[in-house]
Amino acid sequence: MVRIIDICSGKGGVGKTTVAANLGVALQKFNKKVVVIDCNLTTSHLSLLFGMYSYPVTLNSFLKNEARIEDATYLHNSGLRIVPASLDFRDVVNIDANDLKQKLKNAFSNYDIVFLDSAPSLGRESLIALKASDEALFVANPHILSLVDVVKCHQLINTLEDRPLPIGIIVNRVRNRNYEIKPDEIRNFSDLPIIGIIPEDEKILESTNKKTLVTISKQNSSSSKAFFEIAAKLSGVEYRKPSLFSNFIRIFKRGD
């Protein structure tokens, strides 16, 4: 049965879109069929990470009852499927999110995971994603403002009638500085388990500016390995980090 997972946080700028996109790519390593949907309707960014700037049909088209969700689903050359939101601000009017959860389950019934890249804040857009999901995966930075907003988002979930099950927190952009909030403190403060820790990595920005993802172009980077490890945990399988010897054999066989 397909799992609809909302990648969420009460605060903007914590890296939700980067996490959703890279986890989507990483999960394919574990034979999972995944689609990532941009639910940030006013400031959509997901398609830009994949170098996609123009597309005739979007999630907005579907929510305005102008197209099927299948028509707004695009195949990236990585094998990942994405549903972009419109880059035109005018397309946020006249949207209809009623029964979105069931519509997604019907359309993607043969998928393993649907990621919803949620809008920041705790307003209408974020509620659309929360109400359409089975599970919620929080993204936070190791700073108090980010963690307070995660707690607020968790509290909001508990008020929903058909609330998604919280999976835990992904702590993103960790620099291992003394001023950062430590993992044990994060767990105690949020009352949520930590699913994974992604280090600050310039390879992410480098990949983004080259219109690709770090899990595609820099698979041996520290952040990429963290994404694959989290993907393995979500898949319920053991993750074995590539050894130096295995990397040498791979390079030798390629003839690089």
Is residue 32 within 8 A of residue 235, CB to CB? The reply is yes
What is the distance of C-alpha 113 from the center of its chain? 11
The count of structural domains within the chain is 1
Full residue range of the structural domain in which residue 179 is found: 3-254
10 confidence band (pLDDT: 50, 70, 90): confident
What is the distance of C-alpha 105 from the center of its chain? 18
Report how far residue 226's alpha carbon sits from residue 222's, in angstroms, rounded to the nearest whole number.
6
- pLDDT digit string (tens) for 80-124? 999 999 988 778 888 888 899 999 999 999 999 999 999 988 888
249 confidence band (pLDDT: 50, 70, 90): very low
- pLDDT digit string (tens) for 146-186? 999 999 999 999 999 999 999 999 999 999 999 999 999 99
242 confidence band (pLDDT: 50, 70, 90): low
pTM: 0.92
Report the phi/psi class of residue 144: left, alpha or beta, with left for phi > 0 and alpha for psi in -120 to 50: alpha
Extended strands (E) in 3-103: 3-8, 34-38, 74-75, 81-83
Task: Output 222 or 242, whichever has higher pLDDT.
Answer: 222
Write down the pLDDT at residue 42: 86
The CATH number assigned to the domain holding 48 equals: 3.40.50.300
Write down the pLDDT at residue 247: 52
pLDDT at 28 over 80: yes
- pLDDT digit string (tens) for 197-241? 999 999 999 999 999 999 999 999 999 999 999 999 999 998 877
Write down the pLDDT at residue 250: 47
Question: What is the rounded average pLDDT of the residues 38-66?
Answer: 92
Q: Which two tokens stand for residue 34?
A: 């995944």
Closest CA to 151 of 135, 140, 164: 140
pLDDT at 75 over 90: yes
